A and B are shown apart, each in its own frame.
Chain A
């Protein structure tokens, strides 16, 4: 008897589930996918983005969800690997039935997923993929951060105009789209401003020893050394800059974020471009920082976190304005985005790239300080 009841309950539950499965649009939740690297070289980025996206989703759900439906976030670890990202994206679309994607985090994985998102008409917003090629060819793909050429060029402008640098050496990761993109843009703008590039050297991710190449650079005595890479490699190179006795100012892009945590002593006084500054007094910024600190043991969110939060908020408000989970309706709402976000006032251009300003940060006494804000 009891057994039968359990069976009946089970069957009933299955029927309800089945019914809601058929009419997913009328279901109780809106599913949004998230792809971030949570293990590996850039794990710190992926975790920061995921934490911030969680806050954004909780805030929306606490305020009643989107048009009465709760948001359900489905998050996977793509290990910063392109193939892994494609497989996980297919899983998100085919078995989890997401309506929109936040992520992936780094450029190379976003480049891999972008064409698929476009083909399947899943609106996608990468919080942090800065490579130029991520958005232009794909109508459904947006980003919350500025592009590599914009960033590299602006750092070059800062070097030439604010620092008054005449010569620059560039050391970049030749196997990484992000790093090569920034390096090329820096070179172009710096030379256009009348500067000279003394060295333009690529390396691979396997390289751990930079003393040889830095010794060659040292001979040219460049005013600045531009190294657009992620924090672990930057720390490695900055330490060896000191070891070979190269006296210069290192510059970098947003990949440097968090470099002060482990390598504060070797990057003291250097500059990098970033998306927001924690000492910015705008209430949107301070409220986000407070929410993040309350939830994650007092840790201050980095720029990746801020962009993750903005990306998730932009996507959710687009779904709300669209009043639908249809890909093309969300797309139209995304295009019309005009909002104040943690990383500045955001509108999108025809490619899906945001128009906003960039913060130059310096490392002082092991902490990050806003030096200046440069726009175009």
Chain B
């Protein structure tokens, strides 16, 4: 039983990071119908900026997270303006291929700039140690990751549901042309969506590198892919779906490692994706949407 609880905690830790990243995928998809494959690399950039804030500028950990999020938000907007905006009315496949190109570009850029050798994220002294409940141990890193993820997810939900910009985002996602007619600045709204998604990705990146110590140019690939799967699993374009998908992915992964085998865990995770898509093609929380003609 203890082992089971411990595995669930492990799963929630990983899952909350997947959920953070999945939000970026799902928000961008919701608003411009683009699978932004460069999003995993935003995570990588976030980790690098967090690392540099700590090692070069000696910022405290909290400030490093904020710096990484702000810088990545700017980069997210820039990527949209440079790479995706000119293709807004092009066929969807063009934008998709561009996204893959941006992803490869960022990975190789960071490899050339900072080397392929993994850099070690310094230990954050305030995060050493763990809370013990009986024999169950929860490290501070886990607690912080889960707390921050939940706070930012609730915050995002608040922005989307209760604020004016959230209303603009929802309207653009529903019908771009109609939103424009109602006086919504569509381009600005899309930019803000990219900024929000990238900031969350950067947060995920910093938390990921604190949990797994290493920062390297290709670190975004696997978590990016899994977060994408989480977004699809929960129903892509639906914000609560991305969160749910992230946690489901983390839990399934952790429990299948714990009770079946580490080498099978990825196969099981992706197998579940296939099953969900077979029986509920729109994802767990997805509704069947009429295709616009």
Binding site for B on A (CB under 8 A): 39-41, 43-44, 174, 201-204, 206-213, 215-216, 218-219, 232, 235-236, 239, 243-245, 262-263, 265
Contacts and interface: CB of A to CB of B under 8 A. Distances in A.
A212 B257 contact: yes
A203 B262 CA distance: 6
Contacts of A207: 262
A212 B214 contact: no
Interface in B236-276: 253-255, 257-259, 261-263, 265-266
- Secondary structure of the A side of the interface? helix
Contact of A232 (B7, B14, B118, B208): B118
B254 A212 contact: yes
Contacts of A201: 261-263
B41 to A, nearest CB: 16
B213 A215 contact: no
Contact of B263 (A174, A236, A239, A245): A174
B212 interface: yes
Given A202-B262, A219-B3, A235-B120, A208 B10 contact: no
Contact of A236 (B116, B130, B213): B213
A237 B146 CA distance: 21
Nearest to B111: A39
Interface residues of B, number: 37
B66 to A, nearest CB: 24
A250 to B, nearest CB: 16
Contacts of A208: 208, 212, 214, 219, 222-223
Contact of A243 (B115, B141, B254, B257): B141
A244 B6 contact: yes
B287 interface: no
Nearest to B3: A219
26 contacts: A43-B115, A43-B117, A202-B263, A203-B263, A204-B266, A206-B266, A208-B208, A208-B214, A208-B219, A209-B211, A209-B212, A212-B254, A212-B255, A212-B257, A212-B258, A215-B258, A216-B7, A216-B258, A232-B118, A236-B212, A239-B213, A243-B130, A243-B139, A244-B137, A263-B213, A265-B123
Chain B CB count within 10 A is highest, among A174, A208, A210, A244, for A208
A39 B111 CA distance: 9
Given A211-B13, A212-B7, A39 B116 contact: yes
Contacts of B211: 209
Chain B CB count within 10 A is highest, among A202, A219, A243, for A243
B10 A211 contact: yes
B11 interface: yes
A212 B253 contact: yes
B54 to A, nearest CB: 15
Given A209-B10, A212-B254, A39 B213 contact: no
B3 A41 contact: no
A239 B261 CA distance: 21
A294 B141 CA distance: 43
Contacts of B263: 174, 201-204
Contacts of B208: 208
A216 B266 CA distance: 18
A39 B120 CA distance: 16
Interface of B: 3, 6-7, 10-11, 13-14, 111, 115-118, 120, 123, 130, 137, 139, 141, 208, 211-214, 219, 222-223, 253-255, 257-259, 261-263, 265-266
Contacts of B111: 39
A201 B260 CA distance: 10
B263 to A, nearest CB: 5
Contacts of A44: 117
A115 B259 CA distance: 41
A209 B14 contact: yes
B3 A215 contact: yes
Contacts of B115: 39, 43
A266 to B, nearest CB: 9
Contacts of A43: 115-117
Contact of A245 (B137, B219, B261): B137
Contacts of B212: 208-209, 236
Chain B CB count within 10 A is highest, among A40, A215, A218, for A215
Given A207-B262, A215-B258, A245 B130 contact: yes
A218 B117 CA distance: 31
B189 to A, nearest CB: 35
Chain A CB count within 10 A is highest, among B213, B222, B261, for B213
Q: Which 3 A-B residue pairs are closest in the complex by CB-CB distance? A: A212-B257, A208-B212, A262-B120
Contacts of A218: 3
B258 A213 contact: yes
A235 B123 CA distance: 13
A231 to B, nearest CB: 10
Contacts of B118: 41, 232
Contacts of A206: 222, 266
Contacts of B7: 212, 215-216
Contacts of A219: 3
Nearest to A205: B222
Contact of A212 (B11, B116, B137): B11
